Every structure is written in structure tokens, then in C-alpha cells.
């Protein structure tokens, strides 16, 4: 028996055989050259033709997957990268042809060119995230060249836990959720592609295990503990029996949570909270409402942008927003304006940056690089506001000047619409995300110009503790329980209270039961999170009192250590809701 620890992404207990997806699926032909001596134009021509047929087959396959999922699906956004490469981005085909002309087979020419990209991508922490995507593209092309059927997870006959270096988009698209019960990967963090897709599938998952693919053998029995972030390989009888009981308990807990969906999120002493959902596309709204969401607290509009559609029109925006309004059924819909760059989609014209999280992203991109793109989106949001309870949320505001300038552009959009006789809501609420330390420190000044605050803890934490949240090497330093984080939360909430504007939280902390107690203790009453997390957070809220939450928050504010905060909050959460903290 062996146990590996990684980063927990989605809760759950899974016991099943392992299916190990190897990083390289196909063995290349034994010789890399198809010519014994010199060059043969006819052989070169045949190899190029084979390559072109493989490229076209790959294009057709990718296009079909995008059509199946829809152009705004997160996986489709990633597949667009494959399409661009196959459209000869960076001279991909030109270099493959050159390798073939020098006497190499099409298979070796593809492998050589992909290796070039692989090396280049690994030179930067920003582009390193694209390595799994280029790996997947290589696998697709080699499959069509060699003519072998790739081992997939789409036609399984027994339940499995997928073990992989990293799950690529095309592999994820073929998951049969009746047979794939969970997955574990060597690479990735909480905000990696793998983690995002796992959360959207509500599939138990662990990432960042380091060497799981080197240790697990296909067919071995494994236990995946999504809560603890552990993979247990070849468990002994006692461990297996213990986890079978935990599995039964987890399933019973999920059934119990179903009964809470129609009940209010109210503390034992009568304090009512509003639980909202974070979404990336309108299709998620129905699931969110069924889970108990009372509205959408964060609509991530960056997923409207892709390599296939890098500059969506005003009408495209409007169509998507109107779909969301129809699905949300009169509930609030908070639309965040473009948060592009960093670990998200990088717009055309913005080259890779050494420090993308500190670079031209989000509101900076809108104000400094593409006012036209920003104005187009603002017009669409305003037009949609005439049909529902729509609110505008500006991300990554770091100064009063940025907020004032962004609001001036909103006024420009209003003037244009008035001149064109197009209806919109004149008093549409305009809020900002507090996710930069300067914004939290200056919250009292910003509150005079904003209709509401929403605290984005994912970015706030990384900027406070100076940790790139996508960098596996420093993952353990990304600490939401840091005393400085709580102090900035308190500063922000008190500023909002004095200005009498609403304040909510939409970052990862909102969906973590260990932080529910201090957030309520700080006075927060609106929490926005992934839809699948809503029932559990509601259960926790209904098991506590706001008075004890306040006392606990007072205690946390006396601590000067992240470790003490985490130990204290973990102990209190287990005491109050032991069923979910065993």
C-alpha cells in the first residue's frame, strides 16, 4: 500500500481500478528517415500528402467536438488553440514540410516540431500551461498518421479512476461519467484547466500529485479521497474497509444535502444569508438554481472570448446576456466585465508577459489597450439591463482613477444608446471587485463611487502574500488564512458598511466551510460560489449562530500566524459540523 498527497479539487470518495493515460500514446516508426540515401521527391510528396490528410482529419475531429459542446464551453475555448496551430500558427506546417524534405517521416517531422514548441512553452511559467495542449495535439496527429486507435476513456466497460500526467481537453471531452468516477493528475493547481473542468463536471479530483503516473499501474485498485487530497494505491484490507464505509457515508451526506436546497440559508439565531452562484456560461444557470442559488453573483464573461472568436460583436454579447436573463428568471445577474489576461484567455495583440498577473490584464486591458472592446461590451450589458435585474461589476480596480474612468465610459455608452433610441436601465448598479490590496486599503474612497463591492479572494490572496496561485512550486504559500487577508477583508467590509453599500464575496473562500464562520463573523451576508458547493455551505450556515461567528472572528483577528488561524478555524468547523469534517 502506498499513499500520495496532492491538491484536493472536488470532494468525494472513489474506489476503483486505475486507468493510466500515458503521456505518449504512440510509438514512432523505428526509423525516422524514409530515404536510405539522398532525397526522393516522390517519397517526399507522399509523406507530405499523408501529413495533410492527418491534419484535415484532426481539424474535422476538433471542429466536431466544438460543435458538440458549443463555442463558449470552457473546453471549446482550449480546443481553439489546437485549431489555430493546425491553421499554421507560427509556421507549424512550413516547418513540418521542411523536416519531411530533409528525409524524415511525417511522424518524426510532427514529433520534432512539437518538441520545439514544448521546449519553448516550458521556458515561461505563463506558457508552460500550454504544454498539455501541445501534447494532446501531437497525439491527435500521430493517431491519424499511424492509423492506430488511441486508448480513450469513452468506451469503458468497468468503472475507473483516471490517472494522468494532466488531462487534456480532448481526453476530458470523452469522459463517460458513468464509468469515470474520478481522476488524479501529476500536474495542475486549483486554477488549472484540469481543476476547472473537474469542478464543472462535479467529478472527484486531485491534482498536483507529482509522480502518480510513475507509481500507479493500470488495473491496480486505488482509493481517491477528494476531501483529503490523497490517492491510496493497492490498499490493504483494513484501509479498504474503512474507505468503503466513508464512501457510503459520503453518498448519504450528498442525499441529505438535496433536502436543504429549498430551505433558506439562515443561521440558528435568525440571520438570513443570500447564496449566489459563479458561472462561466448561461447553460450553468439552471444547475445553479436547482442547487439553491438565489441569483448569479459572478458571470465570467471572458469565456465569450476565444481564439475562434477573439473579438465578439455587440450582438453576440447581447444574445448571451439575454439567454442568461431568461434562465435566471428575475433573479439578480451580476455581469463582470472583461477579465482577460494572466491565466485566462490572452487577447490578440497582447504578447506574453514576464509577470502576466502584474501586467496588462482585466480593466487595464480595457482602459489602456482596447477601449473599443470595452465599450462594445458595456453597450451590450446596458441593452440587456432593460430586460432583467442586471448589474455591472468591474474587475481588478486598483485605484480611484480607474473606477472614475470606467464609469465615464459607461456614461459614454449610455449617451450613445440614448441617441440611438435604444432602451436601457438608467440606474443600473455599478460595482467593483476588491481583489487588489490597494483597493482594499482605499475601500472607503472607492465606496463613494461604487454601488456595491464584491471581494475576489483568489486574486486578493495571491497579491497579499506575493504568490502566483498557478505556480505549483509555491502552492503551500498560497494561504487564505493569512492574518493580513482577514485584516483587509475587515477593512473592506467596514468601508462598505459606512458607505451603506452592499458587499459580497465571490472568491474561493466563499465555498469553503472552514471560512464560512469568519466570513459571517465579519458581517458578510452575500456569498457567491460554484453551484455544487451551495448545499454544503447552506448546511453549515444552518448549524451556527451569527453571534458565535462574531466571537470566532474576534479571536482570529488576535492571531498573527496563518497556522494558528487554520488550526483554530479547522477545529471550530469540525466541532460545529463534524459529519463533514471526519
- Alpha-carbon distance of 257 to 261, in angstroms, equals 7
- Please indicate whether residue 193 is annotated as part of the active site: yes
Choose among 547, 543, 546: nearest CA to 573: 543
Degrees, nearest 5: CA angle 6-12-14? 85
What letter would DSSP give residue 359? S
- Please indicate whether residue 482 is annotated as part of the active site: no
- Alpha-carbon distance of 196 to 185, in angstroms, equals 13
CA separation, residue 151 to residues 19, 115, 163, 467 (Å): 10, 22, 13, 38
3-class secondary structure, 362:
coil
Helical ranges in 87-167 per DSSP H: 92-101, 106-121, 131-146
- Alpha-carbon distance of 294 to 347, in angstroms, equals 33
CA separation, residue 286 to residues 147, 283, 324, 462, 476 (Å): 42, 7, 10, 32, 35
Choose among 574, 567, 546: nearest CA to 272: 546
Using a 10 angstrom Cβ sphere, with 0-12 exposed, 13-18 middle and 19 or more buried, the burial of residue 501 is middle
What letter would DSSP give residue 506? -
- Alpha-carbon distance of 74 to 286, in angstroms, equals 17
Candidate list 73, 82, 144, 193, residue with the active-site label: 193
Say how many CA atoms lie within 13 Å of 438 toward its Cβ.
Answer: 8
In the beta sheet, which residues pair with residue 19?
Answer: 162
- Asked whether 395 and 455 are in contact (CB, 8 A), the reply is no
Torsion angle (degrees, nearest 10) of CA 176, 180, 184, 190: 50
- Alpha-carbon distance of 511 to 535, in angstroms, equals 10
Using a 10 angstrom Cβ sphere, with 0-12 exposed, 13-18 middle and 19 or more buried, the burial of residue 460 is buried
Residues catalogued as catalytic: 193, 506
Amino acid at each position: 500500500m502506498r499513499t500520495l498527497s496532492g491538491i484536493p479539487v472536488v470532494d468525494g470518495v472513489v474506489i476503483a481500478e486505475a486507468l493510466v493515460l500515458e503521456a505518449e500514446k504512440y510509438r514512432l516508426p523505428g526509423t525516422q528517415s524514409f530515404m536510405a540515401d539522398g532525397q526522393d521527391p516522390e517519397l517526399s510528396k507522399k509523406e507530405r500528402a499523408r501529413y495533410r490528410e492527418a491534419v484535415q482529419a484532426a481539424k474535422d475531429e476538433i471542429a466536431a467536438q466544438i460543435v458538440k459542446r458549443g463555442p463558449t464551453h470552457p473546453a471549446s475555448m482550449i480546443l481553439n488553440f489546437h485549431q489555430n496551430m493546425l491553421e499554421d500558427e507560427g509556421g507549424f506546417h512550413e516547418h513540418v514540410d521542411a523536416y519531411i524534405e530533409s528525409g524524415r517521416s511525417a511522424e518524426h517531422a510532427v514529433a520534432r516540431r512539437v518538441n520545439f514548441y514544448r521546449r519553448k512553452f516550458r521556458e515561461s511559467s505563463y506558457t508552460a500551461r500550454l504544454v498539455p495542449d501541445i501534447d494532446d495535439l501531437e497525439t491527435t496527429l500521430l493517431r491519424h498518421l499511424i492509423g492506430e486507435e488511441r486508448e480513450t476513456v469513452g468506451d469503458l466497460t468497468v468503472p475507473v479512476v483516471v490517472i494522468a500526467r494532466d488531462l487534456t481537453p480532448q481526453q476530458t471531452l470523452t469522459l463517460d461519467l458513468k464509468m469515470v468516477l474520478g481522476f488524479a493528475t501529476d500536474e495542475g493547481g486549483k486554477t488549472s484547466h484540469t481543476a476547472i473542468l473537474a469542478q464543472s463536471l462535479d467529478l472527484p479530483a486531485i491534482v498536483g500529485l507529482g509522480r502518480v503516473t510513475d507509481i500507479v499501474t493500470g488495473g491496480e485498485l486505488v482509493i481517491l479521497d477528494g476531501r483529503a487530497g490523497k490517492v491510496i494505491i493497492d490498499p490493504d484490507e483494513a484501509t479498504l474497509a474503512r474507505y468503503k464505509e466513508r464512501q457510503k457515508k459520503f453518498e448519504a451526506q450528498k442525499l441529505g444535502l438535496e433536502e436543504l436546497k429549498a430551505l433558506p440559508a439562515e443561521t440558528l439565531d435568525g440571520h438570513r444569508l443570500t447564496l449566489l452562484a459563479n458561472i462561466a456560461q448561461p447553460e450553468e444557470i439552471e444547475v445553479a438554481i436547482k442547487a439553491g442559488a438565489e441569483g448569479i453573483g459572478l458571470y465570467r464573461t471572458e469565456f465569450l472570448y476565444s481564439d475562434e472568436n477573439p473579438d465578439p460583436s455587440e450582438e453576440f454579447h447581447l444574445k448571451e446576456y439575454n439567454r442568461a436573463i431568461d434562465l435566471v428568471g428575475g433573479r439578480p445577474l451580476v455581469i463582470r466585465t472583461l477579465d482577460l489576461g494572466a491565466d485566462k484567455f490572452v487577447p490578440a495583440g497582447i504578447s506574453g508577459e514576464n509577470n502576466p498577473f502584474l501586467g496588462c490584464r482585466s480593466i487595464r486591458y480595457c482602459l489602456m489597450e482596447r477601449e473599443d472592446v470595452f465599450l462594445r461590451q458595456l453597450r451590450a450589458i446596458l441593452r440587456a439591463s432593460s430586460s432583467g435585474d442586471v448589474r455591472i461589476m468591474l474587475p481588478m480596480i486598483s485605484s480611484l482613477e480607474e473606477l472614475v474612468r470606467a464609469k465615464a465610459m459607461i456614461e459614454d455608452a449610455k449617451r450613445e444608446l440614448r441617441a440611438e433610441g435604444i432602451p436601457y436601465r438608467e440606474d443600473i448598479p455599478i460595482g467593483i471587485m476588491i481583489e487588489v490590496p490597494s483597493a482594499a486599503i482605499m475601500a472607503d474612497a472607492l465606496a463613494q463611487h461604487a454601488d456595491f463591492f464584491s471581494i475576489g479572494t483568489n486574486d486578493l490572496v495571491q497579491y497579499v502574500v506575493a504568490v502566483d496561485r498557478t505556480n505549483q512550486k509555491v502552492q503551500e504559500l498560497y494561504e487564505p488564512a493569512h492574518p493580513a487577508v482577514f485584516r483587509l477583508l475587515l477593512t473592506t467590509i467596514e468601508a462598505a458598511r459606512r458607505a451603506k453599500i452592499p458587499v459580497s464575496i465571490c472568491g474561493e473562500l466563499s465555498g469553503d466551510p472552514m471560512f464560512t464562520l469568519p466570513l459571517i463573523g465579519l458581517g458578510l451576508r452575500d456569498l457567491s460560489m460554484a453551484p455544487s458547493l451551495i448545499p454544503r455551505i447552506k448546511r453549515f450556515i444552518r448549524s451556527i449562530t451569527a453571534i458565535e461567528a462574531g466571537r470566532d472572528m474576534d479571536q482570529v483577528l488576535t492571531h498573527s500566524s496563518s497556522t494558528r488561524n487554520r488550526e483554530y478555524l479547522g477545529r471550530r468547523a469540525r466541532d460545529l459540523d463534524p459529519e463533514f469534517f471526519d
